[in-house]
Structure 1
Amino acid sequence: MELFITGGIAILIIILLILFFTFIPVGLWITAFFSGVRVGILTLVGMRLRRVIPSRIVNPMIKATKAGLDINIDELEAHYLAGGNVNTLVDALIAAQRANIPLIFERAAAIDLAGRNVLEAVQVSVNPKVIETPKISAVAKDGIEVIAKARVTVRANIERLVGGAGEETIIARVGEGIVTTVGSSESHSDVLENPDSISRTVLNKGLDSGTAFEILSIDIADVDVGRNIGAKLQMEQADADKKIAQAKAEERRAMAVAKEQEMVADVQAMRAKVVEAESQVPLALAAALKEGKMGVMDYYNMRNILADTDMRTSISKMTDDNKPQ
């Protein structure tokens, strides 16, 4: 019985020791102690209670201490709880110290929490970065399209990383500068002969204002001649004018046809009236003879006049037909 109790106590002690060393990172505390980082056991326990992984705070703290940085472990823990990357932050501070870049902890933490890679920003500040723009099309005053491609060398501006615009803004502004410069050129050949004029003009516009970068240089990597936009526009305009003229001509033709049809209808109506009037003539003659208003001799005289008129008309037609053409 006593042996059973003793064995149970030993197992309980072992379980407690396992839980103790699992909950309290004694190994991490020993590593920190011999690395010169003074962090208490209770501090590590507090991190566990605050759901902070102690190794993600202590290991960067060891690197910072070895690099000679004066950082408080509470600051690192607060940055971790705020959602920051403690390891990257410490690496950036060490890199800035080695490069003699004035970067304090608060500014680095603000840059990291703003969503930017603070370590990459420090590296770009030391080693400038080259941003290559896509092919940008612009049209000179002579109507010839010029396609240019630029390489922009930039350096990160630590002071403007928080709230400053990114690479997309630099590319957009450089593209706008290229379009403006080419568009103000009298001829596309001027651009081809002096591509550095684009660089000078664009660089003098202060395109890095309000961005997280400082533009060091703008180099035109490639310049090509594209389409003759002016000639194409003139052809399209001529085609449009032609279609408008055709439409107006068709409109005039339709109006003429309608007018002709209207005149034909009027003539037919007049002929109908004449036929109707002629049909009334025999009735009128009969009525005049019956009422004594017209004599038989008057009637024959009228017939003679009509026959004479028909004869004269026939003779005139025969004369016109016999004339030499």
Structure 2
Amino acid sequence: MDPMFSLLITIALIVIGLSILLSVVPVMLWISALASGVRIGIITLIAMRLRRVIPSRIVNPMIKATKAGLGLTINQLESHFLAGGNVDRVVNALIAAQRADIPLGFERAAAIDLAGRDVLTAVQMSVNPKVIETPIVAAVAKDGIEVKVRARVTVRANIDRLVGGAGEETIIARVGEGIVTTVGSSDTHKGVLENPDMISRTVLGKGLDAGTAFEILSIDVADVDVGKNIGAHLQTEQAEADKRIAQAKAEERRAMAVAQEQEMKARVVEMRAKVVEAESQVPQAMAEALRDGKLGVMDYMNLKNIEADTQMRGSIGKSGDAKNDKA
């Protein structure tokens, strides 16, 4: 075999071996760690590979922590990584807290990170408070006038209550409730417009940040507008409802009157039927009376004369009424 060809094969095998070795053993990362003062062994880096831990995700934050003088260990960072935490964000938060003189230990920072909160943002918010703007809150004063208020809430993160503390939505809801209560207890809407700062004082004095992950520094009213006359609108609706109730009751009374009239008509028809039936029995009764001798012939004739006289008087009365109507 050609010596030159053998040399090329040997060099290729050496290059391949070094590539495999460098892919398994992060030599450059180990050198960077040693140059930064982080004491970590090659075996430890290989063990990270076997535990499916990306060495750079541990070593690079460890270098930053060492340079900042935090005094962390590789095991702390690796255990947090295996638990699903963001090691780099936790280390950055610890460095920021140290620079801002905020008491924050690794265990608490890791717990905040694992709880799903951004610990770095929380530390930054502790240094630089955040302004939360509430949506427009509509409230009604005692005089029935609607008042629309929009407020700005300045909050600072409370590191001790980040785990288990309520978020921004709770702050917004509580401030909105305080605005509604303050405006609702005002006698007139003019008082709210003249002194909007009373909303800030009243709401701020309620301790709305209890149980939340924030500390409320100030509540400032950004805008106050007058809305609808809710009292007049409600009175109009009440009057319309009363009118409909009165109409329904009147219709009920009319229906009852119509029913009573129909009932009276039915009774009159029934009585007339009984009268006709009784009148139909009069001739038969008179005949029986004549046969039995209870009624004489002269009595019968006198009865007929009385009937004829009554009919004549009725006819004369009707003719007289007709003449008077024509006159």
| TM-score normalised over the length of structure 1 | 0.94
Corresponding residue number in structure 1 for 2:164: 163
Structure 2 distance, partners of 1:61, 1:6, is 42
Report whether the alignment pairs 1:183 with 2:195. no
Task: Give the match's secondary structure for 1:122.
Answer: helix
Q: How many residues align?
A: 325
**What are the equivalent positions in structure 2 for 1:128-207 lying under 5 Å apart?**
128-207=129-208
Offset of 1:324 from its aligned partner? Answer: 11
Offset of 1:228 from its aligned partner? Answer: 0.8
Structure 1 distance, partners of 2:280, 2:140, is 80
**Equivalent position amino acid for 1:35 in 2:** S
Offset of 1:298 from its aligned partner? Answer: 1.7
Corresponding residue number in structure 2 for 1:247: 248
Corresponding residue number in structure 2 for 1:299: 300
Deviations 1:166-204 (A, max 9, x none): 101110110010000000000000000000000000001
Corresponding residue number in structure 1 for 2:67: 66
Unaligned stretches of 5+ residues in structure 2: none
Deviations 1:127-177 (A, max 9, x none): 010000000010100011100000000111111111111101110110010
Corresponding residue number in structure 2 for 1:95: 96
**Equivalent position amino acid for 2:71 in 1:** D
Offset of 1:66 from its aligned partner? Answer: 1.7
Task: Give the match's secondary structure for 1:300.
Answer: helix
Structure 2 distance, partners of 1:167, 1:117, is 14
How many percent of aligned residue pairs carry the same amino acid?
74
Corresponding residue number in structure 1 for 2:262: 261
**What are the equivalent positions in structure 2 for 1:6-45 lying under 5 Å apart?**
11-45=12-46
Deviates more, 1:118-127 or 1:4-13: 4-13
Evaluate the alpha carbon distance shift between residue 288 and residue 164 of structure 1 in structure 2; reply closer, same or farther with a 3 A threshold. Answer: same
**Equivalent position amino acid for 2:294 in 1:** K
Report whether the alignment pairs 1:283 with 2:259. no
**Equivalent position amino acid for 1:267 in 2:** V
Corresponding residue number in structure 1 for 2:122: 121
**Equivalent position amino acid for 1:287 in 2:** E
Offset of 1:12 from its aligned partner? Answer: 4.6
**Equivalent position amino acid for 2:210 in 1:** S
Unaligned stretches of 5+ residues in structure 1: none
Task: Give the match's secondary structure for 2:215.
Answer: strand
Report whether the alignment pairs 1:82 with 2:91. no
Corresponding residue number in structure 2 for 1:271: 272
Structure 2 distance, partners of 1:318, 1:166, is 101
Structure 1 distance, partners of 2:194, 2:316, is 88
- CA RMSD for the aligned pairs? 2.1
Structure 1 distance, partners of 2:326, 2:87, is 115
Deviations 1:302-324 (A, max 9, x none): 01111222333444555666389
Evaluate the alpha carbon distance shift between residue 307 and residue 168 of structure 1 in structure 2; reply closer, same or farther with a 3 A threshold. Answer: same
Corresponding residue number in structure 1 for 2:213: 212
**Equivalent position amino acid for 1:127 in 2:** N
Structure 2 distance, partners of 1:133, 1:314, is 95
Structure 2 distance, partners of 1:137, 1:189, is 15
Task: Give the match's secondary structure for 1:227.
Answer: strand
**What are the equivalent positions in structure 2 for 1:225-240 lying under 5 Å apart?**
225-240=226-241
Offset of 1:229 from its aligned partner? Answer: 0.8
Offset of 1:16 from its aligned partner? Answer: 2.9
Deviates more, 1:270-279 or 1:194-203: 270-279
Deviations 1:213-257 (A, max 9, x none): 111100000001111111111111111111111111111100100
Offset of 1:81 from its aligned partner? Answer: 0.6
| TM-score normalised over the length of structure 2 | 0.94
Task: Give the match's secondary structure for 2:243.
Answer: helix
Deviations 1:251-283 (A, max 9, x none): 110010000000001001111111111111222
Structure 2 distance, partners of 1:68, 1:320, is 129
